[in-house]
Amino acid sequence: MFLFWSLALLLLAGTLAFLLPPLLRHRRPAAAPDDEAAAIAVYRDQKRALDAEFADGVISAAERDAAVSELTRRLGEEVGQPKPTTSSRPSRRAWTIALALFVLIPLVALGLYRWLGNPDAMTLATAGNSTTSQHSMSDPQLAAMVESLAQKMKSRPDDAEGWTLLGRSYAAMGRYSDSADAYAHAASLVSDDAALLADYADTLAMAQGRSLAGKPSELIQRALAIDPKNPKALALAATAALDARDFDAALGYWRRLQAQFPDNSDDARQVGSIIAEIETAQREGKGVAGGKLATRTERPAPPQTSAPAPKPVAGATIAGRVDIAPALASKVALSDTVFIFARAVDGPRVPLAVLRVPAGELPKSFTLDDSMGMAPGAKLSAAQSVVIEARVSKSGNALPQSGDLSGKSAAVKPGAAGVQIVIDQVVP
């Protein structure tokens, strides 16, 4: 930002230096004809005429001398007259115009930039300039950017979209309490959005120790009342039912969720395996409290959009699959969190889309789109090419830490499908 404003001031100074000096420069009066030289020339012509008349006998010597004396007298009077002077100082009007330009040009330039430009882009660019980190989300300026957004939202209490974006950003950073507060503010402004309520419930459960009991369950039921087919709300409701040992209710939610996926898709197979496990446990009279289904981190992935947003532009999604290298599979715990995010190859390093899923879902099929962005103006659909990165976080925090596992794809364009990512590196 400092460089931007320095260049802007330099350009402004150059403009003023080009316009003002000519306006204020001392002006010399235009050269006038030499009156004295003209008078002397006329005197010489008339004297020559008198001499010629005397030589021809037209006039006498006395007449010639008298005429010459008269010419000499008049010449002395004309040559001796004082000349009017013209001031070379700039006029008051010139100073008024110069002062007006000095004030108006910076004000007009700033006004046009705020109207036609994008002041927030400076924040994004600043957040993306650091190249000292291998991962875009490790840049401390990303956290500063989110804090800047939080400060702006204090003056925008009625901006539901902004509060939702702040909640999503906090969640991606692992700041679940702050995320829940932001989602609560957004939900107070928009009461009929099932996706928003599901995200609020998800984050609030994370903030209270991964428990869906209490307020999160109430939010889930509100979301399902608005949209009975909301996939994320169904997955959360199924998990809450499992936590409460209500296996019949859990099976009902899982089956409703499974019916929304295409047959033989990865999501359908994953939900089917959970249904089969619950049914087996019921037949054998066994509980599942200590098994894979006991915690919400092992539920299948809900839809990847976590906030109300316009329908993504056609071709702006990227789909693929994240796998874990066999050599690192033993290092992944079910309590770990996987972050999948897209970053522009050329441009700010702010993630253009972020998805958070439990590590227990690996290998994971994913879809990223514009609704998963973390910053205003940073959209997946606007990028020429992106790299998809995946990281297994041991702490659940979006900022990489030593011991995390990571992997990334080659550069792809928005609209790509079948992107393959293998997590095969350990963050030093």
Q: Are 195 and 307 in contact (CB under 8 A)?
A: yes
367, pLDDT greater than 70: yes
Q: What is the pTM of this model?
A: 0.47
**Residue 132 binned pLDDT confidence (cut-offs 50, 70, 90):** very low
Q: Taking residues 141-148, report their average pLDDT.
A: 75
Above pLDDT 90, what percent of the chain?
11
Pairing of strands 318-324, 419-423: parallel
Tokens of 400: 């990489």
Tens digits of per-residue pLDDT, 330-351?
Answer: 888 877 889 898 888 876 667 7
More confident residue, 398 or 317: 317
**The amino acid at 365:** S
Name 422's bridge partners.
323
Cis preceding linkage at 82, omega within 30: no
367: left (phi over 0), alpha (psi -120 to 50) or beta: beta
More confident residue, 230 or 126: 230
Q: Are 402 and 345 in contact (CB under 8 A)?
A: no
Angle between helix axes 266-283 and 247-258 (nearest 10 degrees) is: 160
Mean pLDDT (the chain) is 75
358, pLDDT greater than 60: yes
Cβ contacts of residue 62 below 8 Å, gap of 6+?
none
More confident residue, 23 or 208: 208
Looking at residue 89, what is its pLDDT? 57
Looking at residue 333, what is its pLDDT? 84
Cβ contacts of residue 147 below 8 Å, gap of 6+?
none
Nearest to 369 by CA among 306, 276, 305, 288: 305
302, pLDDT greater than 80: no
Tens digits of per-residue pLDDT, 79-89?
Answer: 655 555 544 55
Pairing of strands 353-358, 405-408: unpaired
